[in-house]
Chain A
Amino acid sequence: AQRVTQPEKLLSVFKGAPVELKCNYSYSGSPELFWYVQYSRQRLQLLLRHISRESIKGFTADLNKGETSFHLKKPFAQEEDSAMYYCALSGRDSGTYKYIFGTGTRLKVLA
């Protein structure tokens, strides 16, 4: 079954420390992977997608097909990075594409 797992519900780091939000997926084909972010009192929005291989707000994510992971990383955390982060997968299942979200990780960056 298709699944996205984010093992940490809460991750606290100090400002300037490296950040890694973990995401593992289960999918039999070649999925598209995304990271979405929800800042306080704002709507959920796309942060980055693996197909673009981009760095947004200093965040990067590499798709590791061997480990079926798509961890989100940033070398130096900022207080404004505090938010809820969701890893998502889009893949074909029974003829249609489905979007599957993980349960989310709340990142708290401490001053």
Chain B
Amino acid sequence: KAGVTQTPRYLIKTRGQQVTLSCSPISGHRSVSWYQQTPGQGLQFLFEYFSETQRNKGNFPGRFSGRQFSNSRSEMNVSTLELGDSALYLCASSFDNQGATEAFFGQGTRLTVV
């Protein structure tokens, strides 16, 4: 079955703009999580959605938001972009984030803010 798909793969935006990233989970997976990956900070958890509801949230400012649709596809939005938002954004899906459930990752969207 198809893996987790993230679009677009690469984005270049200027400061102050906003951006929307998309994630299509593995068919049947209802949990979708978003992470920011940077060389200095590693993987930082943004938020998790399950059945269209935000179930968990990391420590990111309100400029970072997300949503999940009825087909489990998820979008992440970043408004008023800052240079420090440049990172690889990863999406992970799992059948349900309960206990020892494997998370399947997409290839990520590389966002560069100039």
The residues of A with any CB-CB pair to B shorter than 8 Å are 6, 32, 34, 36, 43-46, 49, 51, 86, 88, 90, 96-104
A interface, over-half SS = strand
- Choose among A32, A86, A88 the residue that contacts B99 (Cβ–Cβ < 8 A): A32
Give Cα distance in the complex from A100 to B48, angstroms: 12
The answer to whether A86 and B42 touch (CB under 8 A), given A43-B107, A99-B97, A101-B35, is: yes
Give Cα distance in the complex from A32 to B35, angstroms: 19
6 extra A-B contacts, CB within 8 A, seeds A44-B105, A90-B100: A34-B100, A46-B102, A90-B97, A96-B97, A99-B45, A99-B97
Distance of A56 from chain B, by nearest CB (Å): 12
User: A104 to chain B: which residues have CB within 8 Å?
Assistant: 42-43
Distance of A55 from chain B, by nearest CB (Å): 17
Give Cα distance in the complex from A35 to B97, angstroms: 16
Give Cα distance in the complex from A102 to B33, angstroms: 16
User: B105 to chain A: which residues have CB within 8 Å?
Assistant: 43-45
- A97–B41 CB distance below 8 A: no
- A100–B106 CB distance below 8 A: no
